Amino acid sequence: PLTLEVKRQKRAQKHTQARRLTQEQIQPGTPEPVEGRVHVHVQTELYLEEISDRIIEVDGECQTDEFLDRPPTPLFIPAKSGKDVATQIEKGELFDFDIEVKPILEVLVGKTVEQALLEVMEEEELSQLWSHQRAFAELRNAEFAELQRLEEQDRRIREEKERRRLEHLEKLRKQKETAEKIAARAFAQRYLADLIPSVFNNLHDSGFFYDPIERDIETEFLPWLMSEVEEELQKKVLGRMMLDSLIRMVVEKRLDEFSRPPPAAQTKAPAEEPGVTDAAPKMSGEEDAADQPVAEKEETDQPVAEEEPS
């Protein structure tokens, strides 16, 4: 591509130089102005007149004079200086149109054809340049798109790599944390293996772990049962005390009666003995009567003791 570009530039320079030479040959030759001056178009005729696109027309009138017309002033012709020299040239000696026009015509036609060829080549070259420019633009756009795709792919790869690295670090951290937890759990289990049974035994001995039914029986039923039994025992003891007091009173009374001497007026001693015998059954009847209410009371109180727990 660089060699083609250099060749194209050289060819364009050659075409420019040829075009410049052609224009210089076609245009009339005029010497270049000296430094500090420029060429200016001036009027070189004998009479000065204003140059304009439209001729100014003015109507005017005049009155003839009485005098005769004065002849026009002759032109000023300066006196000749030097010597006049002349050369006689016959017709056809210096210039023959038919012969001299051929090279000029050949040059004109050749230059015209060359100029046309140069213009055609220039147009073709311009079209090729445009096509190369379009191809270069398409190639540049394709390369730019590919570059963007590669940059995006590289970015995604870097992000994925960074994400994988973070995931790996997180995984290692979790593994380390899990290993530490397992080690701590094993150490705690080994350390607390003997502690937990002893603590449970102490708590069980202290009464923190108990059977609710057994606890309810111990705290509710047994105290009530003991109070009821104690009350029944007190009633029985009271009944026995009353019975003992009655027996004591009867015995003292009989002892009193037997200790006193019988009266002399009584003649029917045998008739009194049945009274004594009758008193004994009476006493036994009193004892039975004293014992009977207690037994009945025990029988009446027993169902109450059995119904209250339910």
Lowest mean pLDDT among 50-59, 254-263, 292-301: 292-301
> Band of the pLDDT at 56, cuts 50, 70, 90?
confident
At 202, is the pLDDT very low, low, confident or very high (cuts 50, 70, 90)? Answer: confident
CB-CB contact of 115 with 19 (8 Å): yes
User: What one-character-per-residue DSSP string does 87-135 give?
Assistant: ----TTSS--HHHHHHHHHHHHHHHHHHHHHHHHHHHHHHHHHHHHHHH
Res. 305: pLDDT tops 60:
no
Determine the pLDDT at residue 155: 94
The values of phi and psi at residue 70, to 5°, are: -80, 135
Predicted TM-score of the model (pTM): 0.26
Instruction: Read off φ and ψ for residue 93, nearest 5 degrees.
Output: -80, -35
Dist CA 174 CA 299 (whole Å): 79
The CA distance from 260 to 267, in Å, is: 17
The yes-or-no verdict on residue 64 having pLDDT over 70 is: no
What is the chain's mean pLDDT, rounded? 78
When pLDDT is cut at 50, 70 and 90, the band that residue 143 belongs to is very high
Q: At what angle do helices 97-192 and 195-206 cross, to 10 degrees?
A: 50
Cα 258-262-266 angle, rounded to 5 deg: 140
Closest CA to 254 of 288, 283, 289: 283
pLDDT at residue 60, rounded to an integer: 79
CA distance 257 to 251: 10
Quote the CA–CA distance of 166 and 75 in Å, as a whole number: 113
Is the model's pLDDT at 273 over the cut of 60?
no
Q: Which distant-in-sequence residues (6+ apart) come within 8 Å of 232 by Cβ?
A: 298, 301, 305
